[in-house]
Structure 1
C-alpha cells in the first residue's frame, strides 16, 4: 500500500444499486506535511468490453440502448451506441465477456483476444474495464441478442462498416469512450484490412436467366463469365464458376437436358457446396435468381461480396 496515504474513515452513503462510499483520508504532500481529504467513490465492480469484427466484410458489431446518465447530461434521446460490455459479477473477464457477447449480440464467438485494461473514470468510479477483440462470422449467430429481460435490457444490435463507425466517432454520433478506444485500436492495428493473399473467388452470374434455354444465349453467358474469370485470374486470384463443376457432373450423372430432374438436383446445390471452399463471391451480369441466391448464401457464411467487376482490382 502507498505509505503516503492513511485511510481515516470509510462511510457507505448508498448500497442501493451498487456501493457509494465516502472515504476520508490523509495524504502526505511532497514537503512531508499531511493534509486531510475526502472523496466519494462508486464501486460497481469490474467489467469487460469487446469489439466484434469481420475482416471479410469489413464490419463491426455494436449495440444501442438507453443510458439514463447520458439522458440527464445532454443526450436528447438517451440512446447510446457502444461496444458490447458487462460486469464481471463472480466470473473471470474472458468468461464474462463471452457470456455478455451472446446475450447482447446473439453471437457465440470462440476466440477472444485481450488487448488491455483501463480505469474508465478514475476520479469517481473504481471500475477496471478489460478490453477484448474477437472475429465473428454469420455462422456464429445463435440468437437475436438484445440482452436479458429480467435485467431490463432492451438492446438493439447494429452491424456497420468500420469506416462508418469511425465516421460516427468523428461526427459525434458515437461518444462512448470504451467504444472509441476499441474502434481506434482496430484502425491503428489494421485488424480489418483486407488480406493480401490471393483469394478463391466464385463468379456468380446469369446462366439460363433471360435465355429461354436458347443454347446460343446460354453459351454467351458462359463466355461472358469466363472473360470475367480471366480478369480475376490476371488480378492474381483463383476464379471458379459453379458451371465448371456442375455441368460435367450433371452430364456424367445422365442428365438428358437443361431443367430435368438430374439437372435440378445437382446444378445449384453443387455451387453452394463449392462456396464453402471459396473466400468470396463476385456477382456479375444481369438478373439471375440463382446468382442472387449465391450472394445471399455467401453473406450468411460470412464471405466477402464483390458486386461489380470494377471492384476486382481492390482485392489485388
Structure 2
C-alpha cells in the first residue's frame, strides 16, 4: 500500500529573499525536491510541498533553516543547500545555522570562509585546542583548504611567525623523475590545492611576496630533517604517503609555540605495496591514539564539499573494495 501524499505550506515573509532562497532557475528548490522526493510549487507568497509525511516535513525543515540564514544576511548557494540536506539525513540539522555563526576569515574578495559541515566545525575546534591534529578522510572534504585557512588566521593574529607546508615526494601514479627541476620544483605541482587556498585568501602577488620573504615556506618533507620548527604553523599534506620513519621524523620537529596539522586519505596510499612499506599515517593512528594532546578528526564521504555526485563516487569505490 502506497503512503498517502500530504501537503504542507510555508508562508514567505517580506524579509525573505526569494531569489536567494530558490536559487537561479529554482536550482535550490530542485535540489531539495530531488533529495527529499517531494514536489515543491511556489505560488505568490506561499511555498507548497507535496509528498509523504516524513518527506514534506524534512523539506520544510531545510527550507526554514535556509530562510533563517538569509534573514541573518548570509548569502547561500547550492553547497549550503546540499549541506542542509545531508544534515537532515544525519539528524544534525539543528546544528546547521550554528555552523554559520563562526567566520574563520574573509577571502581576498571579502567573502567569509566558514565550516561547511559538522566534521569541519569539529576540525576547526580541535585545531584551536590541540597543537597536533590529524585530519583523516577522502579527497574533497576540505581538509587541506581549512588547514591553510587556519594557518593564515594564526599568522594574521600574530600567533605564529611563519607557515610551513609540506608533503612527501611520492607520485600518485606519475613519475617525479620525468618532471623538470629540483626536488622542490618537482613536488610543487602536487601542492596545487595548497596554492589554490593561499591564492583565494591572499591573492597570487601577496602569496608570492610572503614566499620570497620566507613567511610562507613550501617544501618537500625531506627538507624538514634536522630542523626544529618553532613559532610556525606546519601542515603535512598527503600524509598517507609517508613511511613510519618519515612520520616520526616530521612529528618530532615540533618546536615551541607551533602547531601541526597532518592530513591524509588512507584509501589513497601510493607507497610501493610490493616492498611491504607501511603508511606512516596508519601507524600514527594506531600508535598515538592515547596521547591526549593529539587529536584525530575523521571525515567521510558525507563530508565531501564538492559536487554531490563525488560523495556517491567515493561510496561506490569503497563498496567495490569491500566486495
Q: Which structure has the larger Rg over C-alpha atoms? A: 1
When normalised by structure 1's length, the TM-score is 0.21
Higher strand share goes to which structure? 1
Higher helix share goes to which structure? 2
> Comparing both chains, which one has the higher relative contact order based on Cα–Cα distances under 8 Å and sequence gaps of 6 or more?
2
